[in-house]
Amino acid sequence: MSSTNVTEALILDSVARLGDLARKHARQNDLDQRYSDELWDAVKESGLALMCIPESQGGAGVSLELFCKATEVLASADCSTATLVHLQGNNAYFLRYCEDTQRAEAVMREGVEKQWLTAYSLTEPGAGSDAQGITATATPEGDGYRLNGIKCFSSWASQADAVFVMARIVGLPPREAISCFLVRPPQPGFTISRKEIKLGLRAAPLCEIVLDNLWVPKADCLGERGLFKATMKGLDYSRIGIAAMSVGLAQGALDYALGYVLDRKVFGKAVADFQGAQFKLADMATTVEAARQLTMHAARMADSGQPFTKLASMAKFYASDVAMQVTTDAVQLLGGHGYTAEHPVERMMRDAKGIQIFEGANELQRDLVFRYMRREVG
């Protein structure tokens, strides 16, 4: 076995063990609407947060394809844990594309040394899918910047060791002004003003942040001339990871539903003996596999350095739509039992709705795909 295969096997074994622990906590975390300290510590200790950081900076430097395999395994067990690990990969890819490589590398080394779990704050009340609409400001002042504004829907910001905050540098041209600032809570001027009560992914905190004259030194500005292109490039990678998360969530629901219908008896025979259930499960399995193949194709294209933005959007919207459909079908197959918290499929269905929306709603992804199609035909 090659060293690459050994490394992959070790990582996936670590992922599987974390997934087993996450599965045990998932129901209670969802009911409590909080992420358990034991599981948070386990994610840190697993080292999976370092998967996508280059080896030169102390990480594992895995391929996007392997990262997607890991994300899929975690999501099949607990989607909230998958969002946490996925976010670390997303932030690592963002740092890779920062033009100021020295600062980005310094941040990665600090994160590895201190075992950071990081968050990312892009969205604002008036700037969701249209990231160019950001209004939070970073005003140059002496050896740093003063940040002011309100950010919303910032996943994990209330627990993270470091938060990447996007704001518009005052004085730069509008299309170049958006940059990223590293914040290490707690800091004066950085306040978690609200945690959202959500339909799904309830254990993963989604936060509103108030920036009130928050002081950030120049060393923690990752792009003094703006970083919007790097942000968009990082989102391309992130969308493929979201697709892998969707595949894992759908696979988890499919596996649970299949086990249930094989054991459950009605009218004197197993539910699995009814053709309606058989056809539904066959359709579910087929769409999950189609989503998986599209996702992995997009990941391999990215790994090989070929254009992949269109594929990333395709994978994100298709796989998350599959997750929504498959989890809904799983609830239906379980009947009344599927509607209760006794079984995980109702939680999976609620989680799937969130994935259709975040990291660029699926309507936006379809629009991006069409733009590329129009461009390709001239």
Of the residues 80, 97, 114, the one at which a domain ends? 114
Asked if omega into 205 is within 30° of 0 (cis), the reply is no
pLDDT in tens, 222-244: 988 888 777 788 889 999 999 99
Q: Identify whether residues 95 and 149 lie together within a single domain.
A: no
What one-letter code names the amino acid at 298? A
Q: Rg (Cα) of the chain, in Å, rounded?
A: 21
Question: Can you give the three-state secondary structure of 307-351, one letter per residue?
Answer: CCHHHHHHHHHHHHHHHHHHHHHHHHHHHHHHHCCCCCHHHHHHH
Mean pLDDT of 26-32: 97
Work out the angle at residue 314's Cα, subtended by the Cα atoms of residues 313 and 320, and round it to the nearest 5 degrees: 90
pLDDT in tens, 314-323: 999 999 999 9
Lowest mean pLDDT among 2-11, 144-153, 292-301, 361-370: 2-11
pLDDT in tens, 173-196: 988 899 999 999 999 999 999 999
CB atoms within 10 A of CB 213: 11
**Closest by CA position to 155, among listed 241, 90, 83:** 83
Its pTM stands at 0.95
Residue found by looking up tokens 């999950």 in the block: 288
What's the CA dihedral at 64, 69, 71, 74 to 10 degrees? -160
Q: Which domain holds residue 294?
A: 229-376
Could you tell me which residues come within 8 angstroms of residue 31 by beta carbon, excluding any fewer than 6 positions away?
Answer: 341
Q: Identify whether residues 75 and 88 lie together within a single domain.
A: yes
- How confident is the prediction for the chain on average, in pLDDT? 94
Candidates 45, 208, 359, 363; catalytic one: 359
Q: Identify whether residues 236 and 356 lie together within a single domain.
A: yes
Q: Identify whether residues 87 and 211 lie together within a single domain.
A: no
Of the residues 156, 191, 226, the one at which a domain ends? 226
DSSP state of 221: B
Count structural domains, the chain: 3
Q: Identify whether residues 236 and 341 lie together within a single domain.
A: yes
**Catalytic residue list contains 65:** no
Mean pLDDT of 356-362: 92
CATH number at residue 326: 1.20.140.10
Q: Is the pLDDT of residue 360 over 70?
A: yes
CB atoms within 10 A of CB 313: 27
